[in-house]
């Protein structure tokens, strides 16, 4: 062993991951065996359930139903203790109280790798529960039951989890696939209009950058979706989740590379959410971000005026705002600079080269961004005038 003449062993291996994403309804009805079948194994596992308070408030019978369901399938699994109810939304990720409560419970009730932790709720709660499950015992099996449009078609079916820290979103977290995802469409019925709508922007996003047919389908179903028709929403969620899963499974599930091609419309959205103290919800901010980057793409002669008007019309028909006063040009340019830093110095932004086809660019024209903001203001004025 000489200096400069070291020995090296190269460790290489591949880890296969597999999980089912189910779409069903009334999953806590005794007649529905999907969840019980998912929990079935050689031994009777202990189950620890965490519920988003927004969900338990909207479904006051949920706790009873879970207890009844557990009694009906007591030969297959057992509740370790009563479900824990945690505040929903970003609060569950900001304040580490719920996160700590879950870790404490794993120790107190002996929830280990032979058990399951089940999260029921919106994306934020699922992220937080998933992170606790990922690190206790180096990973407890975790089942996600997303209850919002956004979590059912996007965040809830993926492999990321996390909590906020140091004032930064998702500062602490891991990439750990869930054991299973069970989307229950029944929960969509009690969403307020903003939450129902919000999740649709991720579907618009994937349609615009990857699948013109899906975007056209959304355009022709925009009124029905705005009217809260259940059937097209279920179709939209399944299609959008399918595309999201394909993207995750495609190239770089744990994001070791720097590029994030699915982030169309997101750079401005992140800044906007932050500027409004999360009063503008993620999906609402993404809708505005999509409108902005589409307008920029038009100003760059990448898509036609007709294309742009169709995009803006879909967003408008669904009931999204197209502009909010916090979105000043100055703030946007600041946000772009922050995004560049976040990416480690080199900017990567997804734009549109046609409907259904995104393209990555590494520079943006400051003047055209400011012009795009002015155009959004006008779209919004027209919208309010209509």
18 binds a copy of itself, rule: CB under 8 A: yes
> Count of alpha carbons within 13 Å of 68, Cβ hemisphere only?
11
Residue in this structure with the two tokens 């999953």, named with its chain if needed? 27
According to DSSP, the β-strands at 116-121 and 84-86 are unpaired
Residue 232 structure tokens: 């097209």
| 132 vs 352, beta carbon nearer a copy of itself | 132
| 70 vs 233, beta carbon nearer a copy of itself | 233
Helix (H) or strand (E) holding 197: helix 193-198
* Min separation Cβ 219 and a copy of itself, Å: 23
Q: Taking CB under 8 A as the criterion, which residues in 272-331 touch a copy of itself?
A: none
| 17 vs 74, beta carbon nearer a copy of itself | 17
Q: Which of 53, 91, 170, 317 binds a copy of itself (CB under 8 A)?
A: 170
Q: Taking CB under 8 A as the criterion, which residues in 87-126 touch a copy of itself?
A: 103-104, 107, 112-114
Q: Which of 95, 242, 326, 360 binds a copy of itself (CB under 8 A)?
A: 242
75 binds a copy of itself, rule: CB under 8 A: no
166 binds a copy of itself, rule: CB under 8 A: yes
SS3 of residue 165 by DSSP: strand
Q: How many CB atoms lie within 10 A of CB 240?
A: 27
241 binds a copy of itself, rule: CB under 8 A: yes
* Min separation Cβ 174 and a copy of itself, Å: 6
Q: What are the DSSP calls for 208-275, one per residue? A: HHH-HHHHHHHHHTHHHHHTT-HHHHHHHHHHHHHHHHHHHHHS-TT--SS--TT-TTHHHHHHHHHH
385 binds a copy of itself, rule: CB under 8 A: no
Binding span for a copy of itself by CB under 8 A among 156-164, 264-272, 284-292, 352-360: 156-164
| 31 vs 301, beta carbon nearer a copy of itself | 31
Binding span for a copy of itself by CB under 8 A among 68-76, 233-241, 263-271, 350-358: 233-241
- CA 119/CA 125 separation, integer angstroms: 7
- Cβ–Cβ < 8 Å for 184, 24: yes
């Amino acid at each position: 062993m000489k200096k400069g003449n070291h020995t090296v062993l190269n460790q290489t291996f591949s880890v296969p991951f597999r999980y089912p994403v189910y779409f069903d309804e009334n999953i806590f009805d005794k007649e529905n065996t999907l969840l019980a079948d998912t929990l079935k194994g050689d031994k009777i596992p202990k189950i620890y359930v965490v519920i988003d308070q927004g969900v338990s408030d909207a479904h006051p019978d949920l706790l009873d139903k879970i207890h009844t369901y557990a009694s009906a399938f007591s030969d297959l699994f057992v509740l370790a203790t009563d479900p824990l109810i945690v505040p929903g939304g970003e609060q569950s990720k900001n304040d580490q109280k719920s996160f700590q409560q879950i870790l404490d419970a794993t120790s107190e009730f002996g929830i280990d790798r032979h058990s399951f932790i089940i999260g029921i709720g919106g994306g934020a709660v699922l992220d937080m529960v998933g992170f606790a499950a990922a690190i206790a015992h180096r990973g407890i099996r975790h089942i996600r039951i997303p209850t919002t449009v956004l979590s059912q078609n996007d965040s809830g079916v993926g492999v990321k989890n996390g909590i906020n820290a140091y004032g930064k979103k998702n500062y602490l977290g891991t990439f750990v696939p869930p054991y299973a995802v069970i989307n229950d469409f029944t929960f969509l019925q009690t969403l307020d209009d903003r939450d129902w709508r919000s999740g649709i922007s991720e579907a618009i996003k994937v349609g615009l950058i990857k699948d013109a047919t899906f975007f056209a389908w959304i355009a022709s179903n925009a009124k029905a979706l705005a009217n809260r028709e259940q059937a097209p929403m279920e179709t939209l969620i399944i299609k959008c989740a399918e595309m999201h899963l394909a993207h995750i499974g495609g190239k770089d599930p744990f994001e070791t590379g720097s590029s994030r091609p699915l982030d169309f419309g997101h750079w401005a959205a992140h800044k906007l959410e932050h500027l409004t103290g999360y009063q503008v919800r993620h999906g609402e901010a993404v809708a505005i971000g999509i409108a902005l980057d589409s307008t920029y793409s038009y100003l760059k002669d990448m898509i036609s005026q007709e294309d742009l008007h169709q995009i803006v019309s879909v967003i408008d028909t669904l009931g999204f705002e197209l502009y909010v006063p916090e979105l000043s040009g100055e703030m946007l340019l600041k946000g772009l600079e922050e995004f560049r830093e976040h990416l480690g110095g080199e900017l990567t932004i997804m734009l549109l080269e046609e409907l259904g086809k995104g393209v990555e660019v590494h520079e943006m024209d400051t003047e055209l961004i400011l012009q795009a903001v002015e155009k959004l203001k006008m779209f919004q004025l027209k919208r309010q005038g209509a």
